[in-house]
Amino acid sequence: MILLYSKTTDPSGNVVFCWDVNDQELLKGAFFYGYIVFQILGGTLAEKIGTKLVLGSTALFSAIVTLVMPVASKQSMWIVFTLRVLQGLASGVTYPCLPPMIMR
């Protein structure tokens, strides 16, 4: 069962997460939900737009999302889920971008 309220605070005001095993597994899998989407489109984007631009922009986007993750985790588990899917979307182009880059 997914909890609606995924955090609480202890008496000193620190955030304590109440994510059970199912919630944690959902968050771990969220990356791969996004990752699988751009496996086909990544190579096409790299050939049409350019490998350096595609890899560079997706790496930058993934890094920014990673920096936002700790703040988002204190808000809601579903925000973290969305960010993990976005990370997967951004990272999904990495492997398909490699053959056009190696060919050049």
Q: 77 and 6 in contact (C-beta within 8 Å)?
A: yes
Interhelix angle 38-49/51-73, nearest 10 degrees: 130
pLDDT given for residue 104 in this prediction: 74
52-81 residue pLDDT tens? 898 999 999 999 999 999 888 888 889 999
Q: How far apart are CA 59 and CA 37, in angstroms?
A: 16
Residue 103 vs residue 9, higher pLDDT = 103
pLDDT given for residue 10 in this prediction: 67
9-38 residue pLDDT tens? 667 767 677 778 888 899 889 999 989 888
Residue 54 vs residue 40, higher pLDDT = 54
pTM score of the predicted model: 0.79
